[in-house]
Structure 1
Amino acid sequence: MNYECKLCPRECGTDRTKEKGFCGAGDKAVVARASLHKWEEPCISYKNGAGTVFFSGCNLHCCFCQNNKISNELFGKEISDEKLSEIFLRLQDMGADNIDLVTPTHFVPNIIKALDMAKNKLTIPVVYNCGGYESVKTIEMLDGYIDIYLPDMKYFSSEISAKYSNAPDYFERASAAALAMIKQTGELKFNDEGGLLKGTVIRHMVLPSHRHDSMEIIRWIAENTSPKNVLASIMNQYTPFEFISDEYPELKRRVTKMEYNSVVNLAAELGINGFTQQKSSASQEYVPDFDLSGI
């Protein structure tokens, strides 16, 4: 099949059957790890852990990416859609709380095929865990396949998103995609154990030196969503890895208590429900070991 890829807002137009797109991906799914993961939000990893499938490549390539080994260095193993379907079912057999698709955007056609193969046997929710830089058309393709959306909302300022992710239209695209996700999932639904069955959780990781940008995102969430439909996860896990270029000296430190608390306090003032993180989460220990396990 020949096609010009327009799955994400970059619309790079690459024929990924012949070459790799901006995301670093061809036309077959590439996975770096598939395992139970107990460190997602409490409503996602509430019992045995989320059944995470970490896909390699990314349409953002953020300069500070916490999963740099797979997003920018493209570590992973190419697999068939049939194999991906088998991985979903094996994770379910292991007791996974859900199927957690991590950085899945560039492999949406493969994921849809794999889910179609597994649909008669898969009984747990499917989570779309993404960087937020999404095309509304692609989100619409996923209607009926995804139960829980878990998008990042990284930046409000186009200047900041251009600097760190080469995506000046990030907020415009991410906010439109988030509203499309919310429209699909509707009101939050939980099981008796506190596990989320359907709904949208918007993540935001506070960056050092950018608390005011974070606060603009919090205001947008308060003004454009409802606590009935959305939870917010305000993350304190930013880690200044050694690979971060000297070009970004402001990113060479952790987030301060004042910076993080100012964002959390605003969310509380505006009546936003969701989750916060301890400062201890800002550690390399929380980055999964991408070792091809479970593939």
Structure 2
Amino acid sequence: MKSILDDNLADCKCCPRRCGVNRLKGEAGFCGIGFKSLVAHTGLHFGEEPPISGVNGSGTIFFAGCNLKCVFCQNFQISQEFSTIKTAAMSTDELADEMLTLQKKGAHNINFVSPSHVIFQMAEAVIKAKKQGLTIPVVYNSNGYDSVDALREIRGIVDIYMPDLKYMDNELGLKFSMVDDYADIVPGVLSEMSAQTGFLKINKTGIAQKGLLVRHLVLPGFLENSKKCLSLIADLSKDTFVSLMSQYSPQYKAAEYNGINRVLTKQEYEEITEFALDLGLENVFVQDISSRDNFLPDFDRADPFRI
């Protein structure tokens, strides 16, 4: 009997790029990843939104590779330059074991970071882990450039969708992330994620169990893009939970690009938070703009998030 991998990796259509390479034979497309998932880090992470990290931490599994090429990526070591760091090529059985280990450590959830290009490997691993006793929620933490068809195929596997909403301007997507149709793709992605899981549901202890939480990183100098992104979320539903991130700093190649070669100002962030409230979005997580350095990982270390 064919598996979900056989059906989707022989002519790869994991993400909207639909590279068409045969990843079953180890071929790699835009993301740079062949058949097995490359894992850059696993562990309890305490820097996510409060309903995700909670007290015990979120059980993160960071995948290497990416279907975008963001010039400002704070995770560039694993998204784009992963050949220079230590990673582990994992089968779906090994991924399932990692999930069960994180659950035993007390993780509130299993948090897959950058799964879009390995969505079917992730899905098969989750199915195996659940058969072996995985009971905590599964979080799909993506860049928002996902295939709606792929999301429909894994329906019922993910409990919490936590996508970034980067752009509602294709020119910015092309300039900063090497993608020319992000703004065309992401509305359908958010609609599908919302249809599958509904609004974010938080239990009595403050931990998310199911639903959609949309993240948006405010880019300096491009506030109109942020306003378009927030308007899209409000159109989806004003009850949508939003994480409005102020942590931008010019990482990786950002210093080479006018506009994003500086940090976000307090005034810019306040303008966007006020705009969100004016739209009627009330379920908004905000950040202290002075804490941006706390969010910068170093994947050369055993604990990338140690301050």
Cα shift at 1:91? 0.3
Deviation for aligned residue 1:280? 2.4
Q: Of residues 214, 219, 222 in structure 2, which corresponds to 1:210?
A: 222
> Counterpart in 2 of 1:9?
16
Structure 2 residue aligned with 1:288: 297
Alignment of 1:139-288 (within 5 A): 139-227=151-239, 230-241=240-251, 243-244=252-253, 247-272=256-281, 273-283=283-293, 285-288=294-297
Q: CA deviation at 1:220?
A: 1.5
**Residue equivalent to 1:130:** 142
CA positional deviation for 1:210: 0.5
2:97 corresponds to which residue? 86
TM-score (norm 1): 0.94
Task: Measure, in 2, the Cα distance between the counterparts of 1:181 and 1:293.
Answer: 33
Aligned to 2:129: 118
CA–CA separation in structure 2 for the residues paired with 1:152 and 1:279: 18
Secondary structure at the aligned position of 2:151 is classed as helix
Question: Per-residue CA shift, 1:19-75, capped at 9, x if unaligned?
Answer: 211011111010011000011011111121100000000001111111000001024
Give identity over the alignment, percent: 43
Residues 221-270 of structure 1, C-alpha deviation per residue, up to 9 Å, x if partnerless?
1122240xx201100011212x3155413221100111111110011112
Note closer, same or farther for the CA distance 1:286–1:245 as it changes in structure 2 (3 Å cut).
Answer: closer
Deviates more, 1:51-60 or 1:179-188: 179-188
**Residue 33 of structure 1 contacts residue 292 of structure 1 at CA under 8 Å; is this kept in 2?**
no
Which structure 1 segments of 5+ residues have no match? none
4+ residue runs of structure 1 moved beyond 4 angstroms? 291-294
The DSSP-based 3-state class of the residue aligned with 1:255 is coil
Structure 2: gaps spanning 5 or more residues: 1-5
- Show CA shifts across 1:259-284 (max 9, x none): 1111100111122112011112321x
**Contact conserved, 1:236 with 1:255, CA < 8 A, in 2?**
yes
Shift of 1:288: 3.1
1:250 aligned counterpart, secondary structure: coil
- Return the structure number with greater relative CO, CA threshold 8 A, min gap 6: 1
- Partner-residue secondary structure (3-state), 2:250: coil
CA distance 1:187–1:117, shift in 2 (3 Å): same
Q: 1:291 to 1:114 in 2, by over 3 A?
A: farther
2:255/2:262 contact within 8 Å kept:
no
Name the SS of the counterpart of 1:139 in structure 2.
helix
SS at 2:103's partner residue? helix
Secondary structure class of the residue paired with 2:19: coil
